[in-house]
Structure 1
Amino acid sequence: MTQITFITGGQRSGKSSFAQKRAEDSSDAPVYLATARIWDEDFHKRVKRHQSDRGEQWQTIEEELEISKHNMIGKTVLLDCITLWLTNIFYQNSNDVDASLEVAKHEWDKFINQDMTLFVVSNELGMGVHPENEIARKFADLQGWMNQYIAKTANEVFLMVSGIPVQIKGISNED
């Protein structure tokens, strides 16, 4: 059975650093499952910074859409991040929220049907500025619904606030 730790929070809240430390504490050879699509030079720099933060013990797999096609049985995996993965799905499905949510849920269910230790990073978009346009509002809805779906499947859920992990679901704080 997959052990899932879901880590969400705002931009630059410390999500990835916290997830990386937890994964490194769980395994000598963790897998970094990167879902980013490199859209521009600024984003390329962000990816390079994340890569330089990881040591040589990490195996990196880049996968924009089909996260379930990779065999992760028995591994410790850091999936970073759900928001970028959903962006790719949303774009592929012509910004259709219902179709994107269906695809994402189906792919998530296939992915977690492996025996692994999984740390999942996502953004909590609904706590910020209300999106100014229709597509951004649709994506924020998609993100919120998918975060809820993942949190239900998770054993532990952390909300990162200014670099501080606040546990909201888990062994010491059940549902």
Structure 2
Amino acid sequence: MIHLITGGQRSGKSEYAEKLILNQTDQPVYMATSRVWDENHRKRIEAHKARRGDQWLNIEEEKFLSKHDVNGKVILLDCITLWLNNFFFDNGEDDDKTIEQAKEELDKIFAQNCDWIIVSNELGLGGHPGNKMALRFNDIQGYINQYIAEKAEIVTMVISGIPLEIKNTLK
């Protein structure tokens, strides 16, 4: 099962996803995708870890999610935006390569026998970015969000901490 949770920055996506997974399992797996850019970012990551507590199995993986065997588990993947960012910057201006690698990796993880709760940002809601690089990334992010949403059984958008279900093929 795939459940995509999307929304704007600081909308409450991660907190909603964490509560959701704790209602499904007492052995949650948190797959974190962020690189540490600076000390402020490191503090944000540590605050996220502290909020979750000790019951979580934490996996930190910047790009190659499929190298981790999570069969039979319920996994919170947080977040697609930071994960995609790693491919984007590693591939320079080769946007096709970024999309291809991301889709290939997603197909590999979705082939595992497990449940995914995936957090992603909805970047296109705030208007057009002011530079070409940000516009390129927004386009790629939108394409990958659509790719995941198409495969997902459930899609939820979180706005101001309120989850709005926009797709559910399980009902």
**2-structure distance, mates of 1:19, 1:40:** 26
**2-structure distance, mates of 1:11, 1:56:** 26
- Matched-pair contact (CA < 8 Å) for 2:84–2:102: yes
**Counterpart selection for 2:108 from 99, 107, 110:** 110
Residue segments in structure 1 that go unaligned for 5+ positions in a row: none
Task: After TM superposition, list the pairs within 5 Å mapping 1:143-154 onto structure 2.
Answer: 143-154=141-152
Residue segments in structure 2 that go unaligned for 5+ positions in a row: none
1:59 match = 57
Query: What amino acid is the match of 1:16?
Result: S
**1-structure distance, mates of 2:122, 2:168:** 19
Is the partner of 1:26 in helix, strand or coil? coil
**2-structure distance, mates of 1:55, 1:45:** 16
1:120 match = 118
Is the partner of 1:21 in helix, strand or coil? helix
State the aligned residue count. 171
1:101 match = 99
1:80 match = 78
Task: After TM superposition, list the pairs within 5 Å mapping 1:12-51 onto structure 2.
Answer: 12-51=10-49
Q: Deviations over 1:51-109 (max 9, x none)?
A: 11102110000000000110010001000000000000101111322110011000100
- How high is the sequence identity, in percent, across the aligned residues? 51
- Matched-pair contact (CA < 8 Å) for 2:153–2:170: no
- Matched-pair contact (CA < 8 Å) for 2:154–2:170: no
CA-based RMSD: 1.1
- Matched-pair contact (CA < 8 Å) for 2:30–2:56: yes
